[in-house]
Structure 1
Amino acid sequence: MMKEYEVILSPVDGSEQSELAFKKAVHVAKKINAKLVIAHVIDTRAIQTPSGFEGNFSDEIIRQTKVMMDYHEKIARDHGVKDVETVVDYGSPKIMIAKDLAVKNHADLIMIGATGLNAVERLFIGSISEYVIRNAPCDVTVVRTDLENYSKF
């Protein structure tokens, strides 16, 4: 008999695609009684200036991230997910999701949106979801549809 997933990693970045994936991750986690790890990676390359990291700018990003993570945790708990954890980390989102966060949190499933916010990186380097699919140590589900399986795009 196939073992059920125990830990679902749901990376969020505020994009519509990541919200679709998050909603499905909440649904699946509740249905199979899995732990839901909601993660956001602050891309340090995007906030670095020639003189380093600007204090006020960085503080605002951290404040906005906390608001976003609190919101997602509340949604998950309100929908009946019993075991919810939020994680904020720094670095390259695709590397952190595929290699560090998946391993550190013992994820056996990553549910990720098809595209995220960073169109420039996607154009030149490849999408985060593409990298995660190729490099994650666990199963990856790329979500393109809402809970009724309708595409919004």
Structure 2
Amino acid sequence: MEQMEIKYQRILVAVDGSAGAEAALKKAVKVAQRQQAHLDILQVLNLNSLSYDGNGLSLDGKKVYQVEQVNESYLQNLKQKLIDEKQLPAAEITTHLRFGNPKTVIVNDFQPEYQNDLIIVGATGKNFIERLIVGSVASYVIRAARCDVLLAH
């Protein structure tokens, strides 16, 4: 029987600085290179988890803006690193910063808007109790996505 290779056009990888996200990014870069696909790198900032600083004070607009600027800078540096070190074409990498619940932003908002045909997620870095309470983003994406999902370990 002839094996049919699936050709992905647009790959979505969500990053959050965790080891799982790093594994997902490495895998996404390899797949994008092999498939000559566009790579969307998405970081979702959950304002609920950012709503209080270490002193129990709620974040104001200025602090949210600072968090946004730090993360935009991180994404731009990450894109440049992929261009320089992995020779990915700049036109084939787009970085995105969104606010909200990562699960719903990835599955319900971003993927339908950008028509990604593959989502690559990292295995969760959360401990058992956190997974019980909030659930893992990866498990939600695997269950709810309307396209192929690859779990990177």
TM-score range, shorter chain: 0.7 to 0.9
**2:11 corresponds to which letter in structure 1?**
I
Between Structure 1 and Structure 2, how many residues are aligned? Answer: 144
Q: Which moved more, 1:50-59 or 1:61-70?
A: 50-59
Distance 1:25 1:57 in 2: 32
When the two chains are superposed, the root-mean-square deviation of aligned CA atoms in Å is 2.2
Q: Which moved more, 1:13-22 or 1:70-79?
A: 70-79
Q: Which has the larger radius of gyration?
A: 2
From 1, 15, 19, give the equivalent of 2:18: 15
| Larger helix proportion of the pair | 2
Post-superposition offset of 1:116: 4.4
Distance 1:123 1:56 in 2: 33
From 128, 140, 151, give the equivalent of 1:142: 151
Which residue is 1:54 aligned to?
60
Post-superposition offset of 1:73: 0.9
Q: Which moved more, 1:44-53 or 1:7-16?
A: 44-53
Per the normalisation by structure 1, the TM-score is 0.84
| Conservation of the 8 A alpha-carbon contact between 1:15 and 1:117 | no
1:99-149: per-residue Cα shift (whole Å, max 9, x none)? 2111111100001111146976523031000000011111110100xxxxx
Which residue is 1:130 aligned to?
139
**1:102 corresponds to which letter in structure 2?**
Q
Post-superposition offset of 1:31: 1.3
From 85, 90, 109, give the equivalent of 2:99: 90
**1:62 corresponds to which letter in structure 2?**
E
Q: Which moved more, 1:121-130 or 1:84-93?
A: 121-130
Give 5+ residue unaligned stretches, structure 2: none
**1:75 corresponds to which letter in structure 2?**
K
Distance 1:116 1:64 in 2: 22
Which residue is 1:80 aligned to?
87
1:74–1:119 Cα change, 3 Å: farther
